[in-house]
Structure 1
């Protein structure tokens, strides 16, 4: 978990280590600027495939709404099919490809 700590320290970032009854799940991070959020989430490889992605993204959406977000953005490697499926199942839509050849997805937030 110590490798995630620097991501949690910037003033525009809001990050949390996530856990459940079985232990650490991963981390979530929101960078909030002018009502727009860039989200990052990570599920520990040992915890993947357990249905934790969609509830993790739901928590991110709730936290973003609580911090005044109107739009949430995510960038995903095109080969990360699990993350793409999770975001799409959570209401994100494809909006294009960024300069790093990552797929850009976004969704509106309803507070």
Structure 2
């Protein structure tokens, strides 16, 4: 049962695998590619089957963006001027919190 209103003020959307993960506050859900069926009903971002490694971090809610790396298989979570990465299962932090620019997140942005 959905408790968040996912019709507006969405934090970010991630297309991966067979659908779209939609994030708002500390909740997420997953739809199929057509967007007409729920594959995962609303759960906490840190729930099993989502990204439990984010529990206790500031990335457990109100995300700015998420990117999936096909090369590494990591999920990169961005919030403010910082980022963190989990493994593909979302159960392990593989790159600790760091600055996006000037802190090792994306060295090409260091100017």
Task: State if a TM-score over 0.5 links the two structures.
Answer: no
TM-score, length basis structure 1? 0.28
Higher helix content, 1 or 2: 1
TM-score, length basis structure 2? 0.28
